[in-house]
């Protein structure tokens, strides 16, 4: 009987120790998550979020460096399911976002318009404030949000201005038909160098990729959310 009591006691201690470790790990995870919720809501995605605490993962820390307040996004948490992919993704989008030569307002117009056409609210939520900081006005954002596919009225062209209207048409072509008409291409090429044309196309194409990943994996639970209306 004494031996059975000892075995039972040992088993109970082992279970308690295991549960303590689980609770500790869960606490670390959610403490980190509370920090991150300043950026995203972290509603469930189709795969789990991987959110290493600062200092635990060099790749996660590199992602943090690109983010305001050094906080991971829900997108980062999804990408970190594959650290190699997350690492390459971070390098690529550092170039797309931070190391190109096209005007900032044009870059943000292209990716925001891509968000509208691909119905990706997550991109719009992340980038509307960036677009404003790069000089896009509320009226311009409303054109980006509401103009029908591959069509701008004379009034909408006036709101955007010639250069941004040309970039708008390029973004629409890439996001909808993929084929870019010669006239659309040359209309933007009047304002940009060959390098900048490459960069503009790369922004449009890369954020089409982003939108498909965000929607397919329901990142931040926003797969079905309508793209917000600028106010």
Radius of gyration of the chain (CA): 23
Of the listed ranges 6-10, 104-108, 167-171, the least confidently predicted one is 6-10
Q: What pLDDT is attached to residue 90? A: 98
Which of 111 and 19 is assigned the larger pLDDT? 111
How many alpha carbons fall within 13 Å on the CB side of residue 226? 5
Domain ranges for the chain, please list them.
2-82, 100-221
User: Average pLDDT for residues 182-195, to the nearest whole number?
Assistant: 98
DSSP string for 67-135: SGGG---HHHHHHTTSHHHHHHHHHHHHHHHHS--S-HHHHHHHHHHHHHHTT-HHHHHHHHHHHHHTT
For residue 170, which of 191, 184, 156 has the smallest C-alpha distance? 184
Q: How far apart are CA 200 and CA 218, in angstroms?
A: 27
**Per-residue pLDDT tens digits for 107-151:** 999 999 999 999 999 999 999 999 999 999 999 999 999 999 999
For residue 107, which of 118, 93, 89, 121 has the smallest C-alpha distance? 93
Chain centroid to Cα 77, Å, comes to 11
100-221 topology per CATH: AhpD-like (1.20.1290)
pLDDT-derived band at 2 (thresholds 50, 70, 90) equals: low
Q: What pLDDT is attached to residue 69? A: 86
CB atoms within 10 A of CB 95: 12
Average pLDDT, the chain: 88
The vertex-191 CA angle with 186 and 196, nearest 5°, equals 90
Q: What pLDDT is attached to residue 68? A: 83
**Per-residue pLDDT tens digits for 67-80:** 988 999 999 999 99
| Token reading at 76 | 């980062």
Does residue 24 carry a pLDDT above 80?
no
Q: How far apart are CA 141 and CA 136, in angstroms?
A: 7
The answer to whether 110 touches 202, Cβ cutoff 8 Å, is: no
| Token reading at 47 | 């795969």
**Per-residue pLDDT tens digits for 31-78:** 344 544 456 999 999 999 999 999 999 999 999 999 988 999 999 999
| Token reading at 137 | 């006005």
CB atoms within 10 A of CB 143: 25
Q: Would you tell me the crossing angle of helices 194-216 and 121-133 to the nearest 10 degrees?
A: 140
């Amino acid at each position: 009987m004494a031996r059975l009591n000892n075995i039972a006691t040992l088993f109970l201690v082992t279970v308690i120790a295991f549960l303590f470790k689980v609770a500790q790990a869960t606490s670390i995870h959610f403490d980190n998550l509370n920090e991150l919720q300043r950026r995203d809501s972290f509603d469930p995605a189709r795969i789990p979020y991987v959110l290493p605490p600062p200092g635990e993962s060099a790749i996660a820390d590199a992602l943090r460096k690109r983010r305001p307040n050094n906080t991971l996004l829900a997108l980062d948490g999804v990408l970190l399911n594959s650290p190699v992919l997350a690492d390459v993704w971070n390098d690529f989008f550092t170039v797309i976002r931070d190391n190109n030569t096209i005007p900032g307002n044009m870059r943000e117009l292209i990716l925001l318009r891509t968000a509208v056409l691909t119905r990706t609210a997550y991109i719009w939520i992340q980038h509307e404030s960036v677009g404003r900081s790069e000089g896009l006005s509320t009226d311009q954002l409303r054109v980006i949000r509401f103009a029908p596919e591959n069509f701008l009225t004379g009034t909408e062209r006036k709101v955007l201005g010639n250069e941004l209207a040309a970039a708008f048409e390029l973004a629409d072509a890439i996001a909808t038909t993929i084929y870019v008409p010669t006239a659309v291409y040359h209309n933007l090429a009047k304002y940009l160098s060959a390098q900048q044309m490459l960069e503009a196309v790369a922004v449009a194409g890369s954020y089409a990729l982003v939108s498909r990943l965000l929607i397919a994996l329901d990142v931040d639970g926003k797969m079905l959310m309508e793209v917000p209306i600028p106010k």
